[in-house]
Amino acid sequence: MKKIKELPTSIKGEMMSFADQLRREGIEQGIERKEFTAVENMIREGFNDDIICKVLEVSSDYVKKVRNRLSPPLS
């Protein structure tokens, strides 16, 4: 497999764009997972939905979604 540096300039730009896109998607997934985990942790610690929304700047619908995915479900 050729190194990116050895590729023709026209292909190199496309490869870098693709790599950048993959990197961005990975970062976004990591942020989403961290947000989910933070909401989950606050639910498990007994915080109410209003506080979770305010502190983490998430919607009440998102908190409900996380709450519904917990095992066992916590109310």
18-69 pLDDT per residue, tens: 878 888 889 989 989 999 999 999 999 999 999 999 999 999 999 999 999 9
Other beta carbons less than 10 A from residue 43's beta carbon: 19
**Residue for token pair 């942790």:** 41
Give this prediction's pTM.
0.68
Half-sphere exposure for 1 (CA within 13 Å, toward CB): 2
Task: Report the SS3 class of residue 49.
Answer: helix
d(CA 26, CA 30): 6
Residue 60, CB half-sphere, CA atoms under 13 Å: how many? 4
Distance between CA atoms of 27 and 6, rounded to whole angstroms? 27
